[in-house]
Amino acid sequence: MKRTYTMTDRADAVDTTRQRILAAARQLFFENWYDDVTLNGIASAAGVSHQTVLNHFGSKDGVLSAVTETVHAETAGLRIAGEPGDTGAAIQALLAQYEASGLANFRATCEEHRVPALKAALDDARRWHREWVERTFAHALPASGAARRQKIAAYLAATEVAAWKSLRHDYGFSKRDTAAAMTTLINALEVQQ
């Protein structure tokens, strides 16, 4: 019996291929420097042709943009789950994100000056992170003016991926000790008026 091929089947196959390419690209971008990731490498890891990757994303930067959109959506879901003012949940969500993607994020900051797609992705991430800080720690922020800007800057410094990377990877602190250090910094900001 001959199988009937439908447009739904075709759309499902296209989506499955796209998701396979995204998963392979994500792993490669998370584990390597930008220049070390190639379209051929992505295609090989996904089990598709170079042309298939181009058909889906147009370019390496197109693949990167799709990966960063996916990661951003996951990050937003993870971080928004906490209620504003719940510092413990906020730090737990932040550190879970950094454990999963912090090194890739940090590598991207080292390359953004010469890779426009990375710069654009990081600028979006920074805007979103600042909004998260302002929402999550609104209870401890002055209403306006220089005091508010300075307090936001302090929260950004205390929650930045570079702070996590320094503690976890440069100094070798455990997840627990890193969480405790970042919690101490944030708690100090909350009580400081």
Q: Which CATH number fits domain 1-58: 1.10.20, 3.30.70, 3.30.2030, 1.10.10?
A: 1.10.10
pLDDT in tens, 72-104: 888 777 777 667 888 888 888 899 889 988 999
Quick one: average pLDDT of 142-165?
A: 95
- Mean pLDDT value of segment 139-167: 94
- Give the pair of three-digit tokens for residue 1: 């019996």
Tens of pLDDT, residue by residue over 35-45, are 999 999 999 99
3-state secondary structure of 13: helix
Measure Cα distances from 88 to 85, 93, 137, 182 in Å.
9, 9, 12, 10
Cβ neighbours of 76 (radius 10 Å): 13
Give yes or no for a contact between 123 and 154, defined as CB atoms under 8 angstroms apart. Answer: no
Extents of the domains making up the chain: 1-58, 59-191
pTM: 0.81
CATH class held by domain 59-191: mainly alpha
Query: What's 140's DSSP letter?
Result: G
